[in-house]
């Protein structure tokens, strides 16, 4: 079974600064996807970024980028130019893509990020 | 716009009662999922479905059931609610086995 570990329960960053959230995972699979979801106080789960394991290039979405280290099983999220609206719980998630058992998400326990003035 | 909705958004019930949480999506997605969110655990998979009449147990399925009679809906039933089932429940859907899952707004359930 896959496991996802987020070792930082809480983090804070000053507005306009850069912050990195850590995530490690354990799997014996070779083909999988990784995700970062954001959950603001509204409780809605919002996709931030997605990374396919077969792609060597790190995914980026505007101010959000990942550092994907497949051999180390590490998938960190970097938020640049942090904004107050980035305050949220961030979840790292793993998805296997095997047919007959695929598309299921395994989540980490989350990192609560607070952006301060 | 296509969307995924959950109802009710909040519910309080008593121990032993049967409760059904609704999930409805208009994306025509094949795959639908139910998760529960608890402090210290993140989101954990309860049940999932890959299509009409298909249902599968997830990591924490005891005390829950689902049925899939059409593409749009996957209701989650708690046969006899227990206090341990007090949680926030999320429904999600995806088109294919490699597609991103998109989440509903969640239902907060309190079992007294």
Contact list in A for residue B35 (CB cut-off 8 A) is 105, 107
Question: Chain A within 8 Å of B94 (Cβ-Cβ)?
Answer: yes
Helix, strand, or coil here: A101? coil
Question: Chain A within 8 Å of B89 (Cβ-Cβ)?
Answer: no
Question: Chain A within 8 Å of B3 (Cβ-Cβ)?
Answer: no
Contact B105 A107 (CB under 8 A): no
Name the band, by pLDDT with cuts 50, 70 and 90, for residue B41.
confident
Whether residue B10 has pLDDT greater than 80: yes
**Which pLDDT value is given to residue A97?**
79
Contact A103 B98 (CB under 8 A): yes
Contact A102 B101 (CB under 8 A): no
A106: closest chain B residue by CA:
B44
Whether residue B1 has pLDDT greater than 80: no
d(CA B37, CA B41): 7
**Which pLDDT value is given to residue A30?**
86
d(CA A10, CA B2): 34
Which residue ranges of chain A lie beneath pLDDT 70? 99-102
**Which pLDDT value is given to residue A11?**
97
Contact B33 A105 (CB under 8 A): yes
Average pLDDT of the segment spanning B35-53: 93
Q: Is the distance from CB of B111 to CB of B89 less than 8 angstroms?
A: no
Task: State how far residue B14 is from chain A, nearest Cα, in angstroms.
Answer: 24
Tell which phi-psi region holds residue B96, choosing left (phi > 0), alpha (psi between -120 and 50) or beta.
Answer: beta
Contact B105 A108 (CB under 8 A): no
Name the band, by pLDDT with cuts 50, 70 and 90, for residue B68.
very high
> Across all residues in chain A, what is the average pLDDT?
93
Contact B48 A105 (CB under 8 A): no
Backbone angles phi, psi at A2, to 5 degrees: -85, 150
Q: Which of residues 36-55 of B touch A (CB under 8 A)?
A: 40-45, 48, 50
**Which pLDDT value is given to residue A1?**
73
Label the pairing between strands B10-13 and B107-111. parallel
Residue from B97, B99, B108 to probe the interface with A (highest A Cβ count within 10 Å)? B97
Helix, strand, or coil here: A86? helix
Task: State how far residue A18 is from chain B, nearest Cα, in angstroms.
Answer: 25
Chain segment B75-112, per-residue pLDDT in tens: 999 999 999 999 999 999 999 878 899 999 999 999 99
Question: Chain A within 8 Å of B100 (Cβ-Cβ)?
Answer: yes
């Amino acid at each position: 079974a896959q496991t996802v570990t987020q070792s930082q329960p809480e983090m804070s960053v000053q507005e306009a600064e850069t912050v990195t959230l850590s995530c490690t995972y354990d799997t014996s699979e070779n083909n999988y996807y990784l995700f970062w979801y954001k959950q603001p106080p509204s409780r809605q789960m919002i996709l931030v970024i997605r990374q396919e394991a077969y792609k060597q290039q790190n995914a980026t979405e505007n101010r959000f980028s990942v550092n994907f280290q497949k051999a180390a099983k590490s998938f960190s999220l970097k938020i640049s130019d942090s904004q107050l609206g980035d305050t949220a719980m961030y979840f790292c998630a793993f998805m296997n893509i095997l047919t007959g058992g695929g598309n299921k998400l395994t989540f980490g326990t989350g990192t609560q990020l607070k952006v301060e003035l | 716009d296509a969307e995924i909705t959950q109802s009710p958004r909040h519910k309080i019930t008593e121990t032993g009662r049967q409760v059904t949480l609704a999930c409805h999506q208009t994306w025509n997605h094949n795959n639908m999922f139910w998760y529960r969110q608890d402090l210290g655990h993140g989101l954990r998979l309860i049940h999932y479905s890959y299509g009409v009449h298909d249902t599968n147990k997830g990591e924490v399925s005891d005390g829950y059931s689902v049925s899939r009679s059409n593409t749009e809906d996957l209701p989650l039933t708690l046969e006899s609610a227990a206090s341990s089932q007090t949680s926030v429940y999320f429904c999600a859907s995806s088109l294919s086995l490699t597609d991103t899952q998109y989440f509903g707004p969640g239902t907060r359930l309190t079992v007294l």
